[in-house]
Amino acid sequence: MQAIRSILVVIQPDLPEQLALKRAQLIASVTQSHLHLLICAEPAQNHAALLDTLTKTLTDEGYSVTAQQAWQDGPHQTVIAVQQAEGCALVIKQHRRDSLLKKAFLTPEDWKLLRYCPCPVLMVKNDQPWTGRAILAAVDVGNSDSEHQTLHTGIVGHASDIARLCQGELHVLSAHPSPMLSAADPTFQLKETIEQRYREACRRFQDEYEVPDSHLHIQEGPADVLIPKTAHALNAAVTVIGTVARTGLAGALMGNTAEVVLDSLESDVLVLKPEDIIQHLETLLQR
């Protein structure tokens, strides 16, 4: 988080409060990041006055700011195109919840942004201050390949940075499967041995980021249920999660955990991707 030098802030003129901008100011006040404000709108909708007002206000407060209005095929395409052009390392957007009927026929724009944006995305859900609250890092240590280990380190590392930013407490959650007597590995035949395996896998996070046992939550059940439940119990300010950016039929049928929990989480949500997914998305964008 400290390495972020430029933040893309999505401004939505029809919303009464620019919650994404408030979060961006909080982060930039610590990281000294440049803020690039973006309104996704076609040229016929002129928002120059709003952008000028926001830019002047932020500049007067000491922030480094640029702004633009742009449009390219759709909202998420516009955000990603500008993120690439400006070299922004973080996108911040206020989440807009679609109706269940609309979701049944169309993939929500916020889901598309999480899938296709090749940099971390912070979805802002509310206006509550972050200060002094829990920051929850959700990892799936059952996937222990090197790519997932790197992703898990990034998730916990970003959560730790945010906890320091807001003087909060870092918590780590990993959901594990139910015991299966038919499992080939005896470890997965008993709940106690499964939990012990997951706790051992989280030990390096505990050692590196000084996470006490009371802040490590190893629980049985589906991640898309346990993540919102744990975040609510902790009154978490931010939940940091990874996504494999699944697309196509698999994405339509199964969904990604980050997408599924986006509406059910009450906290803000920071979504990260594995390095190979980021590289793949950037290659696609260059074509």
- Superfamily holding 6-94: HUPs (3.40.50.620)
CB 109 within 8 A of CB 40: no
Q: How far apart, in whole angstroms, are the C-alpha atoms of residue 161 and residue 157?
A: 6
The rounded distance, in Å, linking the Cα atoms of 256 and 260 is 6
Task: Note the pLDDT tens digit of each residue in 18-55.
Answer: 999 999 999 999 999 999 999 999 988 999 999 999 99
- Asked whether the predicted pLDDT for residue 244 surpasses 80, the reply is no
Residue 182 pLDDT: 65
Domain ranges in the chain are: 6-94, 134-286
What span, in angstroms and rounded, lies between the C-alpha atoms of 132 and 95?
23
Q: pLDDT digit string (tens) for 95-104?
A: 987 655 444 4
User: What global pTM score does this model have?
Assistant: 0.89
Architecture, CATH, for domain 134-286 = 3-Layer(aba) Sandwich (3.40)
Q: Minimal CA–CA distance to 256: which of 278, 235, 273, 233?
A: 273
Provide the pLDDT confidence category of residue 255 given band limits of 50, 70 and 90. very low
Domain 6-94 shares a fold with domain 134-286: yes
Tens of pLDDT, residue by residue over 184-201, are: 676 767 888 989 999 999
Virtual CA dihedral for 96, 102, 103, 107, nearest 10 degrees?
-80
